[in-house]
Structures are given as C-alpha cells and as structure tokens.
Amino acid sequence: MSAGAVVTVLELVGLYVFATSGALMAIHKGFDVVGIVILALLTALGGGILRDVIIGDTPPPAFAHLTYLGIPLAAAAVTFFIHPLAQRLSFTVLVFDAAGLGLFCVTGTLKAFEHDLGPIQAVLLGITTAVGGGVLRDITARETPALVKADTHLYAIPAAAGAVAVAAAHEAGLPMPPVAVAAAVFVFAFRLAAMLRKWTAPRAWQRRPPADPS
C-alpha cells in the first residue's frame, strides 16, 4: 500500500471517530439534531480543511468528494441512535477524540510531505490537522478548548510526538504504511495514558517567596 493510500484510509477512519466525538459532545450538551450534525462536521472536517487551505490543496477534499461529507453524517446518525450505550459520555468523547488525534496527526504530516514541505513544516501541519477540529468543536460547544485549558491532560504533546515520529521515519526512508499505523496507535495510547494518569503540561515557572524566618 502506498503512502497516499495510507493517508486516505487513515483519514477516512479519522473522519468517523472525530465526527463521533463531536456528536457525543453535542448530545452531552443537550443539542438537538441540527447541533449534533454541525458539531460532528466541524470536528471531523475542521482540521483537514485548515490543513488543505494552508498547503493550497483547493477545493479541499471535504468539498470535492462526497465521501468526506458522508462519513461524518453517517457517524452523527449512528451516534444519534446508539448513544445510550455509552454510559459515560464525557469519557467516551475523549476516547474517540484520542483516536482522531492519532489518526489526523499522521495524515496531516504525510500530506505535508506529499506537497514537498520540509520536516518541521510537516510536523506543524500534522499538529494543526490533529487539533483543529477539536478546537472548533469545543468553541462551538462553549467549552474551553482542551488545547489551551490549563488543567487538561496532555493533548497537543501526544500529537506532536506522533508527527515528529512520522517525520523522522520519512526522512530516514522507512516504509510509511507500518510507521503510520504504529504512530497513530502510539498517539492514541499516549493520550489515553495521559487522561488515566492525569498527566498535564508544565505551567510557567514562578519563583517561590522566601520562607518567613519567624
């Protein structure tokens, strides 16, 4: 399987899981069917559209191919009917978001290489693809985006680690299909571990006041 085919497959899977996370958050917030569809579409397509506009791949596949629209709509419809099976919607949203994070950081990085960008630019574009849809979802749902929330568990850092791993493997000439799948699984596991173990990014260093001698 070629690198281009890997990007396509992972992106389609990522569309489904990210759309599911958006639909679940909409249900958790009490949105109606219109809100569920909008949040599913924003989450699934937002990061990819931003990536495609940056690299000049226009019109973005989300507008050029019905598959990219149909998959998020299907995910929203399925979630609409089966969401009672999810006992803990908040955590389920995060699990699907972690899956999308892993898939999209890989596809964004690989697509950057397809357009002849350098490794640093590819990593930045991979991160943008991974977090863009989640940021739009959170803003629309009136939530502080997980990307910038001070007490959130590691979010952008797992995506960055996955993008760096893919970029390094690409520069080393390693076969991309197994690397891409392994990197997506790694980011997913990294994000889940961060949530379960409550890992957070360091805050700005503050000097402690001197102890009171009395």
The whole-model pTM stands at 0.84
Tens of pLDDT, residue by residue over 125-163, are 999 999 999 899 999 999 888 788 777 788 889 999 999
Among 191, 171, 64, smallest CA distance to 120 is for 171
Give the Cα separation of 46 and 210 in Å (integer): 48
Tens of pLDDT, residue by residue over 43-95, are 999 999 999 999 998 898 888 889 999 999 999 999 998 877 665 666 777 88
Among 48, 93, 54, 95, smallest CA distance to 67 is for 48
Domain boundaries, the chain: 3-197
CB-based contact 79:27 (threshold 8 Å): yes
Q: What's the confidence (pLDDT) of residue 84?
A: 75
CB-based contact 24:89 (threshold 8 Å): yes
Alpha helices in 29-150 (DSSP H): 33-55, 61-64, 66-82, 89-114, 119-140
pLDDT band of residue 116 (cuts 50, 70, 90) is: very high
